[in-house]
Amino acid sequence: MTSIPVTTDGRGSRIEQPEYDAVLDEVTRWVQDPGEEWAERIEETGTVPRELFDELKQRGYLSMAAPRDLGGRGLAFSQWMGLMEVFSRSHASIRMLVHVLNGTWRAINPHVTEAQREKFVKPMIAGELLVAFTLTEPGNGTGADITSTVRREGDTYLLNGRKHLITFGVNCDYWLLFARLEGTSGKEGTVALLVDRHAPGVEVEDTSQTMGVHGTDHASLTFTDTPVPVAQRLGEEGDGLAIALGGFLTPSRISVAMSCVGLAERAQELAVDYATGRVTFGKPIASRQAVAFMIAENEADIQAAKQLTLHAARRWEEGADDAPALSSMAKMTAVDMLTRVTDKALQVHGGIGYWKTSPIERVYRDARAQRFEEGTNEIQKTVVARDVFTRAAQKENA
């Protein structure tokens, strides 16, 4: 299988500033009005209605970050981060949809044949196919220790193994799944496959009962000699982890970091509104130094994380070698920031913030998910430390 080299990975395109400003204004107005109505409906029903998916698709919000020649809007990655910041102020499931669908194509596009690009990538960008990133396993980490295996019989791989915590794994069209050839270890022999959601030999368990991010479905998957056409392999045998970790996780970690910034901004907005409106002893509580200091600390925290995240986004956009480490720095900084900001924002509300009738309650609950999305902070610290020590060794040997 021969991969066709492409440069359209979203790094080189950019729209003009007036057009971008108009898009940003449109998205902001949507998030503040219909987006909030959808958020209330999701919380009431516990599901993401198909009508919401269709509306996001019709508005072009699921294809913002893709190049125009693939059917996308052509935003640069750093421009997309500005929109991600705004979308993340909405319901977490809305953020999850636009985050995943604007990014999964990026992992596979540089590794596909032209036929695969027409069959999978362009329909993904158009919102006609929902593909779930499928790496994590219940008994392993999320890297070279994966144990799901395939063995080849003619033009078919037979897949065996288990995956869990798979976002959109119940209702997707395909799983972008990573496994290894039987008998291999480490990164050698890893493969990336597009597995049909309705392929035989698959047991799908819906595990969507989560603390937050209500409405987004999650799955545990068991594969028993599930047939996957070799034509649905991406890249070559041995490319699996490179596709998973490089093509998806680096920009996705930056995107998650920016989602933390957006959600923290929403928490801060709610805290400020409450502090200026809540009166005790004849004065708004915003006049109390204890409250004002929490608001000030939140503001500084948010801005610091935002600037690091934008720096990481620009470095990835430039193809810089330090982008992977910066993505981990941004993600671990932003999730810690979000924890502090939402905790203080809830504290500003006092006891009333603990009730589900208060918007800050949902924000506080949803914020916990980013702590492990695209790898825990412990994983991010490992990536950063490895980069620091590698650069130190290179400097010493120079």
Alpha carbon distances (Å) from 38 to 94, 106, 153, 233, 267: 9, 28, 47, 37, 18
Three-state secondary structure call for residue 12: coil
* pLDDT the model gives residue 6: 38
d(Cα 352, Cα 369) in Å, to the nearest integer?
23
Residues 179-209 pLDDT 10s: 999 999 887 899 999 999 999 999 999 998 8
Model-wide pTM > 0.85? yes
* pLDDT the model gives residue 264: 98
Helical spans, DSSP H, in the chain: 17-32, 34-45, 50-58, 77-87, 92-101, 104-108, 114-116, 122-125, 240-241, 250-277, 289-317, 323-349, 359-367, 377-397
* pLDDT the model gives residue 144: 78
Beta bridge partners of 195: 175
Residue 142 has pLDDT above 70, yes or no: no
* pLDDT the model gives residue 9: 58
What tokens does 287 get?
């006049």
Residue 175 has pLDDT above 90, yes or no: yes
Residue 3 has pLDDT above 70, yes or no: no
d(Cα 143, Cα 108) in Å, to the nearest integer?
17
Strands 149-153 and 131-134: unpaired
* pLDDT the model gives residue 8: 47
User: What is the band of 12 on the pLDDT scale with cuts at 50, 70, 90?
Assistant: low
Cβ contact 24:82 at 8 Å: yes
For residues 336-348, give the mean pLDDT.
98
Domains and CATH numbers, the chain: 17-125 (1.10.540.10), 131-238 (2.40.110.10), 242-391 (1.20.140.10)
* pLDDT the model gives residue 186: 81
Residues 34-69 pLDDT 10s: 999 999 999 999 999 999 999 999 999 999 999 999
For residues 132-139, give the mean pLDDT.
92
Q: What phi, psi does 83 have (nearest 5°)?
A: -75, -35
- The mean of the pLDDT values for the chain is 92
Helices 250-277 & 323-349, crossing angle to 10 degrees?
Answer: 20
Residues 359-386 pLDDT 10s: 999 999 999 998 888 888 999 999 999 9
d(Cα 159, Cα 226) in Å, to the nearest integer?
5
291: left (phi over 0), alpha (psi -120 to 50) or beta: alpha
d(Cα 221, Cα 132) in Å, to the nearest integer?
12
Residue 210 has pLDDT above 90, yes or no: no
> What percent of the chain lies above the pLDDT cut of 90?
82
Enumerate the active-site residues: 374
* pLDDT the model gives residue 13: 79
Residues 283-318 pLDDT 10s: 999 999 999 999 999 999 999 999 999 999 999 999
Residues 311-329 pLDDT 10s: 999 999 999 999 999 999 9
